[in-house]
Every structure is written in structure tokens, then in C-alpha cells.
């Protein structure tokens, strides 16, 4: 059965810290991995990763895919209270099937 597992399930850090969120997948005919930030209920798209080893960056956020390890990480440096959210990871396979992980709930303390 295809699955996406995120860890940790929740994380509390202080403002300014760096955090690393993990996502592992077991998916038939894997194509891409996606990261979303969910706050106020509706997720917003962050990254789509298709190639292994190529880092994608957007400001203080970066993500990389490791197809050998079947995993991805999302890094957030110099965290701010506005980074508090649920971060969702999802896999997309070549049959157009999308599977989401349960998310990591990140809370940044001021």
C-alpha cells in the first residue's frame, strides 16, 4: 500500500531556530513530491520536487529530494512566529495519484 510518512508529528522551537521536517514515501511509480504550508485551514503550495539532489529554495525555506532514500526534507532557517503552521508533504505518482502525509505541526515560540 502506498504511503507518505512525516516526522515529527509536532515540533515546538524558539524564534530564530532552524528546523528540519522529514517526509518519507513508499509509492508505486513515484513522480514528484510536494510540500504545502497549511494555516487557517487551506494549504498553500511551497515546492514540487522531481529530481533527486537538487535543492529548491524560497527565502528562508529550502527542500531537497533523495530518491535513493525515498525521502525529502524541508528546512526553515531563522524561524519566525509566522512560520507556525502545519506542513504537509504529498507524493504524486505517474498514474496521477496524490497521497498526503498527516503533516507536521510546527509552533514557533516568540
Partner 1 sequence: DGGITQSPKYLFRKEGQNVTLSCEQNLNHDAMYWYRQDPGQGLRLIYYSQIVNDFQKGDIAEGYSVSREKKESFPLTVTSAQKNPTAFYLCATGWSLFHEQYFGPGTRLTVT
Chain contacts with partner 1 (rule: CB under 8 A): 4, 31-32, 34, 41-45, 48, 88, 90, 92, 96-103
Give the nearest distance from C-beta 107 to partner 1 in angstroms. Answer: 16
Number of C-beta neighbours around residue 41 at 10 A: 6
Smaller CB separation from partner 1, 36 or 64: 36
- Output the nine-digit C-alpha cell for 2: 502506498
CB-based contact 62:75 (threshold 8 Å): yes
Smaller CB separation from partner 1, 11 or 48: 48
Give the nearest distance from C-beta 53 to partner 1 in angstroms. Answer: 20
Number of C-beta neighbours around residue 61 at 10 A: 17
Smaller CB separation from partner 1, 17 or 50: 50
Residue 24 to residue 27: CA distance in whole angstroms: 10
Amino acid at each position: 500500500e502506498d504511503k507518505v510518512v512525516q516526522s515529527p508529528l509536532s515540533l515546538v522551537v524558539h524564534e530564530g531556530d532552524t528546523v528540519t521536517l522529514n517526509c518519507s514515501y513508499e509509492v508505486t511509480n513515484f513522480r514528484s513530491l510536494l510540500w504545502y504550508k497549511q494555516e487557517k485551514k487551506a494549504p498553500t503550495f511551497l515546492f514540487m520536487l522531481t529530481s533527486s539532489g537538487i535543492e529548491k529554495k524560497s527565502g528562508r525555506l529550502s527542500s531537497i529530494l533523495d530518491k535513493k532514500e525515498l525521502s525529502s526534507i524541508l528546512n526553515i532557517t531563522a524561524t519566525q512566529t509566522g512560520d507556525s503552521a502545519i506542513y504537509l508533504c504529498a507524493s504524486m505518482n505517474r498514474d496521477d495519484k496524490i497521497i498526503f502525509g498527516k503533516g507536521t505541526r510546527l509552533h514557533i515560540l516568540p
